[in-house]
Chain A
Amino acid sequence: MKIMKLPVCLVFLIFLHLDLSGQAEAGLRVSSGASYVRSGDQLYDRHGSSDPLFSWSIGVNIQKNLTSKMAGILELQTARKGYSFQIRNYFDLNSIEAKRTKLSITLNALSVYQWTLGTGKKKVQSFGLQYGCFLTRNTLQRWKYGEQKPVNVDGSDKPWDTGFIVGAGYRNHLSKKKFLVIDFRYNQGLFDISTSPERTKSRSLEVGVCYAFAIKK
């Protein structure tokens, strides 16, 4: 758990910075994309990667404008991620589909640095760079290899994962108090999530849509 201290502290520092007495927004965000892992052995420092798995997440967030250009986001989401393998089989047989899925609960803490792109009478568009960290608790992990019955593999991975997020988003004001954000994010796990000698680190790419509204002025 030592490795978790830094991101957890960062999350709470950002959370404390979110002074909800000022202008804040609440939002609902859904995303989908692809997740995969990079894995290898420690002896020769070699890295391979799995095939991607279709992933999704749904969550709620609170955003607070810290300065005219900076905002902080705290987000709680549930997600389905993992990885897959499409394995070619004997020449006269179908390929083997193998996938390892995990359901998780994730806390994201993000900063957004944004630029206003243009203004209309009521509408404002902006472009923002997002960067931050995530803390994930896996709740269910399953492995299915070909036609075999899915098995629970909770024991072979560590329950927690943490890493960083970078991304970019486009934000449009639907009205004075309603906003729509379309973003693209890359999540990279920083630590080994496997309990076996093979190092395994998570990766994911996602496109998300967030509907947000002002909750205080």
Chain B
Amino acid sequence: MTIRIFLAIFLAIFTIKSLQSQPKKNRLEVYYTPQITKTYFEQILENNPGSFKGFYETVEPNRPLLGYSTGIGYARILKHLELGIFIKKNLRGQRSDFAYNYRGLIPTDTLPDYGGLYYHFKMKSVTFGLTIGKAIHLNDVYYSSLYLGIGLDVYQIAFLEDFIIKSDDGLLRGGCCRHEYEHYPDNQLTNILRHIKNGYYRAEFSLAWRNEIKFYKNIHVDIQPQVFFLTKILKDARGLNTFVPDGIILAAGLQLGLNYHL
């Protein structure tokens, strides 16, 4: 309920400010955000199926994972305020340390060149959202602003994979297993609509410092440090299906964007 009130207030500010008669500019942007991500899905990971139960008992996935977001956005730039909408795809997750001892046992039944293993959990999602920004520095070449974003992060697919180090030459190769959570072989749009209907979505909040530099005529580049916080699944979806990962997500990244002003 609180999230809905926030969204309603945000949308109202967006509409009112967009309609006000101030000098306006429009910005289209495409961006890629490499980011350090950490999901907190221990509740589901400790009950992993098959071999992953053994991996979890060997080493827990407590390390952050290098993920990304990539997307497109549109913003209306007012005098000292910018309001925008965006859609982006994300990959976030968590991973384990490398470990040699499988469940604390001597790994005699593995490959002769076995040198250790690790596994990771990755989740793909799509986020739709709104942003509101406040300009803090503005001139012909450089534009800087602070902004807040709020979005709906819809679950797409999640999977577990393991990897093995070859002790004879140091190469890292895929291990024995891969497990996918709640995934259907339909097209992406059908999957997104199904997951919205089933309530597999969470709220995303972001805070960013935009640094935009004029590159050529109407084309600008931007670099912006960002931090993200994502809530648990908003509906009680785990009751419907225990194979949907639930838990908060933290992430921090550096957005690299290419913008077109019109």
From A83, A88, A129, A196, B100 is in contact (CB under 8 Å) with A88
A88-B169 in contact given A41-B174, A48-B174, A168-B223 (Cβ < 8 Å):
no
B116 touches A87 (CB 8 A): yes
A40 touches B215 (CB 8 A): no
B171 touches A39 (CB 8 A): yes
CB of B104 within 8 A of chain A? yes
CB of A50 within 8 A of chain B? yes
CB of B242 within 8 A of chain A? no
A88 touches B98 (CB 8 A): yes
Q: Which residue of B lies closest to A186 (CB)?
A: B34
B73: shortest Cβ distance to chain A, in Å?
Answer: 21
B215: shortest Cβ distance to chain A, in Å?
Answer: 7
CB of B202 within 8 A of chain A? no
Q: Is the interface of B mostly helix, strand, loop or mixed?
A: strand
From A91, A166, A198, B171 is in contact (CB under 8 Å) with A198
CB contacts (< 8 Å) of A83 on chain B: these are 170
List which B110-137 residues lie within 8 A (CB) of chain A: 115-116, 118, 120
Which of B15-23, B44-52, B159-167 contacts its partner? Answer: B159-167
Task: Compute how far the CA of A98 lies from the CA of B169 in the bound complex, rounded to whole angstroms.
Answer: 10
Interface size on B, residues (CB 8 A): 30
Contact with B along A97-112 (1 / 0, CB 8 A): 0111000000000000
B172 touches A198 (CB 8 A): yes
Task: Compute how far the CA of A194 lies from the CA of B166 in the bound complex, rounded to whole angstroms.
Answer: 13
From A43, A50, A127, B172 is in contact (CB under 8 Å) with A50
CB contacts (< 8 Å) of B170 on chain A: these are 83, 85, 98-100, 143, 145, 153
A49: shortest Cβ distance to chain B, in Å?
Answer: 7
CB contacts (< 8 Å) of B178 on chain A: these are 44, 46
Interface residues of B (CB under 8 A from A): 59, 66, 97-101, 104, 115-116, 118, 120, 141-142, 161, 163, 165, 167, 169-174, 178, 213, 215, 221, 223, 256
Q: What are 9 A-B residue pairs whose CB atoms fall within 8 Å in the complex? A: A39-B173, A40-B172, A49-B66, A89-B100, A90-B104, A143-B169, A143-B170, A196-B169, A198-B172
Interface residues of A (CB under 8 A from B): 37, 39-41, 43-44, 46, 48-51, 83, 85-91, 96, 98-100, 113, 115, 127, 129, 143, 145, 151, 153, 156, 166, 168, 194, 196-198, 200
